[in-house]
A and B are shown apart, each in its own frame.
Chain A
Amino acid sequence: MAYMLNPGAQSESNIEVHKYYGGTVLVTAFLALVMQAFLNKYGRWSELVDLPLLVTIYFGVSRRNPVTGMFLGGAIGILQDALSHDNPIGLYGIAKTIVGYLASTVGARIDTQHPVSRLALIFLFFHLHQIIFAVTQRVLLNHPEPFFTLRLLVNSLATAAFGVALFALLDRLRRSS
């Protein structure tokens, strides 16, 4: 565990950069958005999992390119804002851009293949995403968005657990080197 979470345990050059088949990233991100929007029709339980955030984190840590990660996160966030009925465009975009950048940066420094490390990463990024989202809401919209609640904790745990499984599934889409 200490080996997996220690950024200095392994040099960047020794960390493998995963490749995916063409269109995999775009199709996956698109499906995540569609499914998130589709599942929200069937009750609040779908709020337990933030699929666009999971996709952003996964491809960020897998591609390990901060530029790609931030653009992907920004695009997914803007599309998520666009699909929401009252969010101004950019609210999720800002949060996911930063998360994508940080995920790529972290993925370039530590090994994120272990499920436990993935669980921890997803949990942390979920709350970081929420903090950025809340700050943006408070500063720009004057909305008292909470930084942390018990429900958010439950959601973060559920998203992390679901993310570990999703990441394993998405690992199968890698192109063999």
Chain B
Amino acid sequence: MLDSTLRQRPLALLAALVLAQVLLLAFQIKRDHDVRLIRYWTAAAVMPFERSGSWGFSKTGGIWSEYIGLRGTRAENTRLRTELDQLRIRNRELEGQAGEAQRLGVLLNFHEAHQDTPMLAAQVIGASADPASHTLFLNRGDRDHVRRNQPVITPDGIVGKIVEVFPATSQVLLINDKDSGAGALLADTRTHGVVKGSGDPDPRLDYVVNDEPVHQGEMILTSGEDRIFPKDLLIGTVSIASQGNPFQTIHVRPAARLDRLEDVLILLTLQELKKPNESADGASAESGAPGIVQKEAPLSAAPAKPASPKPAGASSANPTPAVAPPNHQN
């Protein structure tokens, strides 16, 4: 059958024979770079198809990825937006926690610098409903041995005093409340006065005679005469000082940021805070409290148990200032 076919079509057989020998030659002949001719031909024959196939696949893949594959993009976009919102909320939470950790770190440094001074960290949980009343609520109360008239401070400066104690909370009267008062003195001249709230954000330093030189930015410290705040705690700085009748009108910029308090310290003693480098454990000065102004002679060591000072005439029930005006007033 095959033989007869070949005999009927010798031209086809001739072509096959010649082609076979051409292929035989191609296997033997080497062109440039020592590559056999059959490889050249095979590559030349195959590459256009591969190139076309590659082009087709890339186009098909592009259509798939750019059109068909995007059919779920809308839902994915919605999901990603939701996830982004959640992450933003989470980020804010973490930022808040980081800020809280930083604040607590400052408090911890302060506490470690005055380990011999009993103090209690507290968190501000609320404020007064009356805009004219500058009070705060803390998350510490009678269970934590908090007592009335205990000073509340931050590492920046004093905040106020405890005026009401509840089982788990307590109320703080800020130094800028109109019913508040604290014995104070000017750091440079050691001139005594009383820092009283005026109802404005900034309290006033009263009972400083006109003859006393007071300059703007001068530090105002606690004098300890009110028997509430230990001596030499920073109250603030002089923002405005002008002549008055009979005393100067001195505006005080509180050192503690009274409008954004979150964490505070309740001093459980009236003892004077030591300088950081004089602490019993030798805490470093860097970790000390900026609100504590160094004094010449430190007081004695802290008591072993929390104190509950109740100085005479310092009751919060008394709307008058907690301290009397200094004696050198005119």
Q: List A contacts of B22 (CB < 8 A).
A: 90, 94, 136, 140
B26 and A94 form a contact (CB under 8 A): no
The answer to the question of A146 belonging to the interface, with a C-beta cut-off of 8 Å to chain B, is: no
Closest to B13 in A: A67
Instruction: Please report the C-alpha to C-alpha distance between residue A141 and residue B22 in the assembled complex, in whole angstroms.
Output: 11
B29 and A140 form a contact (CB under 8 A): yes
The answer to the question of B21 belonging to the interface, with a C-beta cut-off of 8 Å to chain A, is: yes
A67 and B28 form a contact (CB under 8 A): no
CB of A90, distance to nearest CB on chain B (Å): 4
B17 and A74 form a contact (CB under 8 A): yes
Where chain B touches its partner, the secondary structure class is helix
Instruction: Please report the C-alpha to C-alpha distance between residue A90 and residue B20 in the assembled complex, in whole angstroms.
Output: 9
Q: Tell me the chain B residues, 20-73 only, with Cβ under 8 Å from chain A.
A: 21-22, 24-26, 28-29, 31, 37
CB of A113, distance to nearest CB on chain B (Å): 23
Closest to B31 in A: A142
The answer to the question of B7 belonging to the interface, with a C-beta cut-off of 8 Å to chain A, is: yes
Residue of B18, B28, B31 near A94 (CB, 8 A) is B18
CB of A52, distance to nearest CB on chain B (Å): 15
The answer to the question of A78 belonging to the interface, with a C-beta cut-off of 8 Å to chain B, is: yes
Q: List B contacts of A101 (CB < 8 A).
A: 10-11, 14
Q: List B contacts of A88 (CB < 8 A).
A: 24-25, 28-29
Instruction: Please report the C-alpha to C-alpha distance between residue A90 and residue B29 in the assembled complex, in whole angstroms.
Output: 11
Instruction: Please report the C-alpha to C-alpha distance between residue A71 and residue B29 in the assembled complex, in whole angstroms.
Output: 23
Residue of A70, A89, A105, A142 near B24 (CB, 8 A) is A89
B17 and A91 form a contact (CB under 8 A): no
The answer to the question of A163 belonging to the interface, with a C-beta cut-off of 8 Å to chain B, is: no
Q: Tell me the chain A residues, 70-102 only, with Cβ under 8 Å from chain B.
A: 70-71, 74, 77-78, 88-91, 93-94, 97-98, 101
Q: Which of B10, B13, B14, B21 has the most CB of A within 10 A?
A: B21
Instruction: Please report the C-alpha to C-alpha distance between residue A69 and residue B68 in the assembled complex, in whole angstroms.
Output: 63
Instruction: Please report the C-alpha to C-alpha distance between residue A105 and residue B7 in the assembled complex, in whole angstroms.
Output: 12
Residue of B6, B13, B24 near A90 (CB, 8 A) is B24
Instruction: Please report the C-alpha to C-alpha distance between residue A63 and residue B55 in the assembled complex, in whole angstroms.
Output: 55
CB of A19, distance to nearest CB on chain B (Å): 17
Q: List B contacts of A142 (CB < 8 A).
A: 31
Closest to B10 in A: A66
* Number of A-B residue pairs with CB-CB distance less than 8 Å in the complex they form: 57
Instruction: Please report the C-alpha to C-alpha distance between residue A74 and residue B24 in the assembled complex, in whole angstroms.
Output: 12
B25 and A89 form a contact (CB under 8 A): yes
CB of A44, distance to nearest CB on chain B (Å): 26
A89 and B14 form a contact (CB under 8 A): no
Residue of B7, B13, B21, B31 near A93 (CB, 8 A) is B21
B14 and A78 form a contact (CB under 8 A): no
- Known A90-B24, A94-B21, A97-B21; judge A70-B14 contact (CB<8 A): yes
CB of B315, distance to nearest CB on chain A (Å): 117
Closest to B25 in A: A90
Closest to B28 in A: A88
Q: List B contacts of A93 (CB < 8 A).
A: 21, 24
Q: List B contacts of A140 (CB < 8 A).
A: 22, 25-26, 29, 37
Instruction: Please report the C-alpha to C-alpha distance between residue A29 and residue B17 in the assembled complex, in whole angstroms.
Output: 19
Instruction: Please report the C-alpha to C-alpha distance between residue A120 and residue B26 in the assembled complex, in whole angstroms.
Output: 34
CB of B35, distance to nearest CB on chain A (Å): 13
Instruction: Please report the C-alpha to C-alpha distance between residue A65 and residue B17 in the assembled complex, in whole angstroms.
Output: 15
Instruction: Please report the C-alpha to C-alpha distance between residue A143 and residue B262 in the assembled complex, in whole angstroms.
Output: 96
Closest to A74 in B: B17
A78 and B37 form a contact (CB under 8 A): no
Closest to A94 in B: B21
A98 and B18 form a contact (CB under 8 A): yes
Instruction: Please report the C-alpha to C-alpha distance between residue A142 and residue B40 in the assembled complex, in whole angstroms.
Output: 14
A90-B24, A94-B21 given; 11 more Cβ-contact pairs under 8 Å: A66-B10, A88-B28, A89-B28, A90-B25, A91-B25, A93-B21, A94-B22, A97-B14, A97-B18, A98-B18, A140-B29
Q: List 9 A-B contacts (CB under 8 A).
A: A70-B14, A71-B17, A90-B25, A93-B24, A97-B17, A98-B14, A98-B18, A101-B11, A140-B26
Residue positions of B touching A, CB distance < 8 A: 6-7, 10-11, 13-14, 17-18, 21-22, 24-26, 28-29, 31, 37
The 7 A-B residue pairs with the shortest CB-CB distance, nearest first, are A66-B10, A90-B21, A88-B28, A90-B25, A90-B24, A93-B21, A101-B14
Residue positions of A touching B, CB distance < 8 A: 65-67, 70-71, 74, 77-78, 88-91, 93-94, 97-98, 101, 104-105, 136, 140-142
